[in-house]
Structure 1
Amino acid sequence: MSFNPAILTDNWAAILDGMVLTIVIWAAGTVIGLAVGLLVAIGQLFTNRWVAAPLTLYVAVMRGTPFLIQLFVIYYGGPFFGLDLSPLTAGIAGLGFYGGGYFAEIFRAGFLSVPPGQIEAARMMGMSRFQIIRHVQLPQMLVIILPALANMTVLLSKETAVLSVITVNELTSVIQSIGSTTFAFAETLLFLAVVYWAFLEIVTAAARRLEKRVGRFTLRGQH
């Protein structure tokens, strides 16, 4: 068998659609994960134990079970609980809640990294708990946890490939379909690996640039 890259160019429209959908899924899942993670971390740290306990259990389950199993539970198990989601909706929700468990731990560590003396000083100034979170803890901890957030965002981009198992027509699913139809597995799988590598490099480079900009801004603010 010879290597035939024309198989890819002949199917460029389907491949492009798969790429776009993969990016949309990754972006939506990341936004959901960040929102869920922040709310869970706040609930764990600043509410009573009746709220914190189930949130801690959620984090443990998300971090302690494979994403593939979670995806199966949401998509195939959802109808048993009256939750009948489309593959795309289930995929985005699954990616978001999976990421939320990890983001929650990152946010929680960030909140705890703020010096207690600053929190106490804010209380003495009459600031409410919400004001302390918003104006004291949140800005400082975001600078500290930015590298960890960026790393988790990169990891989530790779997890989008798992959504092909529930028939989401993202890039991996498209490439597998082309490979199965043409038997050109070498061309398609190599192309898939290169695309994911390039995408991860772009996301990582953007994250590093953001870290540098935030770092310069922080240093400027200290002077």
Structure 2
Amino acid sequence: MNVVLDTLDAVARGLPLTVAIWLASVTTGLAAGLFVAIARHFGPAPLNWLLLAIVEVVRGIPFLVQAFLLYFGGPFIGLDLTPIVAGWLALSVYAAAYFSEVFRAGFRAIPPGHTEAARLLGLTTPQTVARILLPEMALAVLPALANLSVILIKETAILSIITVPELTFTVSGVGSATFAFAQTTLALALGYWLLVELTAWAARRLERAIARATLGTTQPEKIQAALA
């Protein structure tokens, strides 16, 4: 009974931080990923090559190694971060690299004629992106963004290695203290499963909402609305 109570207490202490770091990382990663995708899609070739190199490096190195390098290697270059800040920053950079590829694929999937029509009607690049491209590609890229967000939930467990007191760290501490590894690991698995299911449910609701908002609106109507 004590093991159950200790495990529930550990889940109650670790779950809010896990959710907070995940939400902050997803938000930052989406913003940074969209910026990178726009810069690569509309920017000059040298900028595209530079950002491509950065994205490939981030995607080519395991997240565990990136978290280690940032937290333990940061002080060597004057970057002395707390575990929570280091975890958030590492997860944000990792997320941004993958989100940028999803957004870039979404931009490339939109027929070039839509962008040309907006340009001929006098829309600037920011207006074209915000009022034409983003609404048009939102429904197409949402499933991929949701899948990546689910992956990021599970990647938060790695942050326990750099002593971030999130769900895995707190529950594992109970297992180490009580030697009830089976019970605590099962509770940990159920906690992550619940987070994943809630995220998938929210993504489905959002996808249906976007579909209702976009269906029945033609591309010329979108462009004329953007000019209004």
TM-score range, shorter chain: over 0.9
Structure 1 segments (4+ residues) deviating >2 Å: 10-15, 220-223
Q: With structure 1 as the length reference, what TM-score do the two structures score?
A: 0.94
Structure 1 residues without counterparts, runs of 5 or longer: none
The one-character-per-residue Cα deviations of 1:121-151 (angstroms, maximum 9, x if unpaired) are: 1111122222211221121111211111111
Match of 2:75 among 68, 76, 79: 79
Q: How far apart are residue 10 of structure 1 and its match?
A: 3.5
- Write out per-residue CA displacement over residues 48-84 of structure 1, whole angstroms, 9 at most, x where no aligned residue: 1222222111111121111001111111111111111
Q: How do residues 3-42 of structure 1 correspond to structure 2 at under 5 angstroms?
A: 6-42=2-38
**Displacement, 1:11?**
4.8
Q: Does the residue aligned with 2:79 lie in a helix, a strand or coil? A: coil
* Alignment partners' CA distance in 1, 2:180 and 2:21: 27
CA contact (8 A) 2:15 2:167 kept: yes
**Contact 2:7 2:187 (8 Å CA) reproduced:** no
Match of 1:174 among 170, 173, 180: 170
Larger mean Cα displacement after TM superposition, 195-204 or 99-108: 195-204
Give how far 1:39 is off. Answer: 0.7
Q: Which residue of 2 aligns with 1:164?
A: 160
Question: Closer, same or farther in 2 for the Cα pair 1:10/1:133, shift >3 Å?
Answer: closer
Return the TM-score normalized by structure 2: 0.92
Looking at structure 2, the residues matched to 47 and 38 of structure 1 have their Cα atoms a distance apart, in angstroms, of: 13
Deviation at 1:114, TM superposition (A): 1.3
Counterpart for residue 116 of structure 1: 112
Question: What residue identity is the alignment partner of 1:100?
Answer: A
Structure 2: state its 5+ residue gaps.
Answer: 222-228
- Alignment size in residue pairs: 219
| CA offset digits 1:138-193 (Å, max 9, x no partner) | 21111211111111111100000000000000010011110000111011001101
> Percentage identity across aligned positions?
47
Aligned partner of 2:129 among 130, 133, 138 = 133
Q: 1:210 aligns with which of 178, 181, 206?
A: 206
Distance 2:6 2:30 in 1: 38
What code does the residue aligned with 2:129 have? I
2:122 is aligned with 1:148: no
CA contact (8 A) 2:14 2:166 kept: yes
